[in-house]
Structure 1
């Protein structure tokens, strides 16, 4: 019993230390804001929507000690699918990178080594907001600090596998939740 208590104590101490390290980790953007309506540039072009379908500008600072790479996700938990909707996942962003330019997705502006995962539209790039008419949906943009240079995902990896790998080793994360309605 004492051994279990020691292990539980060590796990709790590690979790608290990781939490304390991640407290200064921040995500900011010049194109989206917490709780604010996204503009037409971040709206999908298709599925009845007519937007620019451009990824937002994102910057981060205060990464936890031991960070070797980053991952970015954009997720809509309100999509009427039973499992939400993945709009964007980028993994293997080098630790030296602290900004993604607006519109970087799918272009040469994406950092060398970064890998975009196919979104739920079936496209390997950013897919903008496009909720059903009259519904307000949340779009959670999250930056994750990871202790590895690369997740080693196979070509064609799905969002669930990428999400599992990201969440299983996250040192810290920061997010902005924007909204959109049409």
Structure 2
């Protein structure tokens, strides 16, 4: 398996294709997103990684600075921007009620039992949070947690997202029509 990783080492989707750079998700970078589990640019703890690499597949604790007035909903996207594909792999996509007191606890993005005020959507891999499990030998992978404060909620019924629970992330993300009031990002790194 490390041989495959080395062979693909020059192939990475890149940050340019992350949700952060979609035209409809542009907005002022006013939110500071942090975690008690890792620092920006630092390694993700094994607990947050996938079970097949020895982790517990638990989403990390996240906290953010106060939201701007008029925030109706938060959109969280977690993407592996170093996956050897044409686009980043979405490891989690969730809608969050702004009343969550500015934080999510460990495991809050679970597909089976999300925290109150959290609606997990479909990701590239499945539903809910899926921890890192990059190809062995491919090098470090950056997992970008991107939080967007929206002026209006994302709802079922948009022409391209009739059912948000079933829609693919690459359909949902470009279909967000609400203005972004603020946004923030945090990057964790993992390598096998």
Do both proteins adopt the same fold according to a TM-score greater than 0.5, normalized to the shorter chain? yes
Q: TM-score, normalized by length of structure 1?
A: 0.78
Whether 1:78 and 2:82 are equivalent positions in the alignment is yes
1:141 to 145, 157, 165: 145
**Cα displacement string for residues 85-137 of structure 1 (whole angstroms, at most 9, x for unaligned residues):** 1100101x11211211111122545123x32112222x211000111112101
Q: Residues 144-163 of structure 1 correspond to what in structure 2 (within 5 A)?
A: 144-152=148-156, 153=161, 154=163, 155-163=165-173
Mapped to 2, the partners of 1:173 and 1:96 lie a distance apart of 17
* Structure whose CA Rg is larger: 1
Whether 1:39 and 2:49 are equivalent positions in the alignment is no
Aligned to 1:94: 97
Runs of 4 or more off by more than 6 Å in structure 1?
none
Cα shift at 1:166? 3.9
Aligned to 1:180: 190
Mapped to 1, the partners of 2:71 and 2:178 lie a distance apart of 14
Whether 1:64 and 2:74 are equivalent positions in the alignment is no
Cα shift at 1:150? 3.8
Moved more, 162-171 or 143-152: 162-171
Q: Can you give the 5+ residue segments of structure 1 that lack an aligned partner in the other structure?
A: 1-17
Q: Residues 116-131 of structure 1 correspond to what in structure 2 (within 5 A)?
A: 116-121=120-125, 123-131=126-134
Whether 1:170 and 2:173 are equivalent positions in the alignment is no
Aligned to 2:120, the other structure's residue is in SS state: strand
Q: When you count helix as a share of all residues, which structure comes out higher?
A: 1
**Cα displacement string for residues 112-169 of structure 1 (whole angstroms, at most 9, x for unaligned residues):** 3x32112222x21100011111210100001110011343351301101221134763
Flag the 1:99–1:131 CA change in 2: closer, same or farther, 3 A: same
Mapped to 1, the partners of 2:73 and 2:134 lie a distance apart of 31
Whether contact under 8 Å (1:101, 1:109) holds in the other structure is no
Mapped to 2, the partners of 1:109 and 1:82 lie a distance apart of 30
Aligned to 1:164, the other structure's residue is in SS state: helix
Which structure's relative contact order is higher, taking Cα pairs within 8 Å and 6+ residues apart?
A: 2
